[in-house]
Structure 1
Amino acid sequence: MTTDASSSFPFCPERWLSKGIWKEREIPAATTATATKKKKKTETKKTTTTTMTTGRALEAFDEGVAAAAAGDERARRRARRALVRACEEEERRIGREEERIERRRDREEAEEEAAAAAADVAVVRAREIAVANREAAVERRKEVVTEREDAVAVEMAALHQEQMAAGGEEQSRGEEE
């Protein structure tokens, strides 16, 4: 790829060429299931193929360079249109990948927020339970104190009656004497 050839293709993004995006790479093609008789199991076979967009873009670029060098204007225009289509397809593919990555990132953030919210709800619920348990313990202690006060009051009443009875006996003895 020479600079004069890339100048004859002004529509081709130079940044793609400079960043080395025009590389052959393998992507998973549509997954095809092939059934094989092997212990009554079905195996799924994945096939890979090179990216059509990148391959076509390279071919179109090479054809355009060759046509420009040969002076064949029709072939150069045809190669230019093919390269434009390939560039547009690559841009769309990159856009789809970016959208997919963004959706996944948003989904992960939403899951983290939901987990944090669930944790917050669990903490609040645990605090509510702890407060309710403390309130129940206070109520039980109040009941115990009330029972003790009642028992003390009964004891005091019994003691008072005994004292009254003893005082009454002493009075009656004093009168007899």
Structure 2
Amino acid sequence: MAVFPGEDARLDLKRHLPAGSRLTRSEKWHVTLVFLGDVPDERTPDAAQALDTVAPPGPLTLHLSGGGRFGSVLWAALAGDVDRLSAFRETVRSALLAAGLPSDDRPFHPHLTVSYRFDRAVQRALGTYAGPSWPVTEFALVQSAAGDYHTLRTWPVNPPRPGSR
């Protein structure tokens, strides 16, 4: 389960980072809400059904600000509606666990991985970074295959208005 930043946010971060750095591809940049690990294809409908039961959290706005590292991994930190995103993440995780799907039980530390190779210049750039806000419009069930991410399905974060379709 993931949230993808808007294109403007990704482009702004990419422009802020040192040219020539070994970064992950910006189109892959995302915030993992819940990591399911290897889920057999036949269980994907179970994940989708579980996520259908999750109430949308309502409007969320995020922006990237600062950064850090996990070992050699460098990441951009999130700011904005992070508390509401964290609460929503727990709701999503609970629904998936109730459906018998595995979930990473490490504490949630919302971030966007920018590089799997430590680079002091990238770390410095992230430390002073404050990017533009973006509205979160959806969350996605994503499959990783051969180094690429494939969105299997999305759900809106804003509940539909009464009388709209």
Shorter-normalised TM range: under 0.3
Larger Rg: 1
Give the TM-score, by structure 2 length.
Answer: 0.22
Give the TM-score, by structure 1 length.
Answer: 0.21
Larger % of helix: which? 1
Larger % of strand: which? 2
Structure showing greater relative contact order (alpha-carbon pairs closer than 8 Å, 6 or more residues apart): 2
